[in-house]
Structure 1
Amino acid sequence: MLQLNNINKRFRLKDAKQSNTLCATDPRVSGRFFYALKDINIHCTAGQVVALLGANGAGKTTLLRVLSTALQADSGDICIDGQAVAKDLVYYRKSIGFLSGSTGLYARLTGFENLRYFGELYGLKAQALDTRINELVEQLQMTDFIHRRFDDYSTGMKQKVAIARAVLHQPKWVILDEPTTGLDIKAREVILSFIEGLKIQGVGVIFSTHDLSEVERLCEQVFVIDQGQVQFAGELQQLIQQGAGNLYQSVLSYMEQSA
């Protein structure tokens, strides 16, 4: 199991004027600090897809960046199988794959060259790496463009390569920040099917999305986050029932409770 326990994260505001302006409109501001995450607890078991829901600015991306160790929490622990990851950060980073809002891939390289480069950073050997890349090219339907320069790709093409990069090393847990945003219907379907495949393989997936149809299709567990706090944590069906069978209304009601 992958867990976040009592995670807190704050950011120092640039100046007193900014603090005073925000303090009047946002309860997360106190003094010279913006409290982005407050006592966050979430979990994901192997082979489970977990959704993080909430409005823009709710804290989802900050939470995922903490989970990926791109950001360090001010307090709280990340645990994997009951052990704090701080004791072996290298092992933890090898155990996860992370897709952020920006691809972080190189525009002048082809998609294949990008995957070769990052695969070598992961420590994968040449033959095993080529085999793995070919598997992902087929699964994510990248054959037609994988040897073209990355800078010439569409949004969907770039996202497919970015997802392939995140799972090259076959991590036990995958963290995805809005993986289907801005994609057309075909590309979106390929990525959702790929996530379903990860689930079948026993990989745990934590992802953020604004598309509730994706949640209904993929997820068992849901966490609704608003103003840096978890407003709901539980099973998808429980959340739906609380909205009298309407997932949209139920999610909206939890977001409005802290408004």
Structure 2
Amino acid sequence: MNRTINLIDLGFKDYQEVWDFQSELLQEIVNIKTENRKNQLQKSTQNHFLFVEHPHVYTLGKSGDMSNLLLNEQQLAAKGATFYKINRGGDITYHGPGQIVGYPILDLENFFTDIHKYLRLLEETIILTIAEYGLKGERSSGETGVWLDVGTPFARKICAMGIRSSRWVTMHGFALNVNVDLGYFDNIIPCGIRGKAVTSMEAELRKKIDQEQVKSKILKHFKNLFEVEEFVAKKNSNKIV
């Protein structure tokens, strides 16, 4: 089992470009697995972890409801935002500047074959990360992601999650609100959940947060929880450059 992960920080990139890149990486892994089964081979598969920050964009998961987007085409354009209906689980969410988005493209057969466990460990990665800043992240029953003050009238989401998997290979992932403009969430019903607020690390701590420092903490906890052998930093490559 290959527990090394290629780490690629894409910087500030268009959503469609990165979605295409994720799809290419996933398909490469699936092709190897298919070839292994067909020819009784044991060729190892790669794992990848992408960090990225997107321009303003709203994405709707395959089970999402279009009515949770509160803007029409002209209003989207006026806000400099784009919209995509995509192939992950979950409903609608927003990505934008000041948000750390993480896309693990893992062959879970290198780690464990349990999607529920995968999601819980992604949540735990973020819970442990924000705990280093004095924030108590929690899970909310039936609502994937990381929340603050669960079970109170002040419950608010700080990290959204939505994934897709094919042949035990994952794509999409998490979006942690660090220094993001929360006003953009007013244009949607986040994750299709009415009556619950969205927050950010900046809003909670009342100061700008060093995003590179947050990324390093995310990787530290991800490595421990997933028992990663090592992260190997890779430069932007392929069509994504």
The interval holding the TM-score normalised by the smaller chain is 0.3 to 0.5
**Which of the two has higher C-alpha Rg?**
1
Q: Which has the higher helix share?
A: 1
What's the TM-score once normalised by structure 2's chain length? 0.32
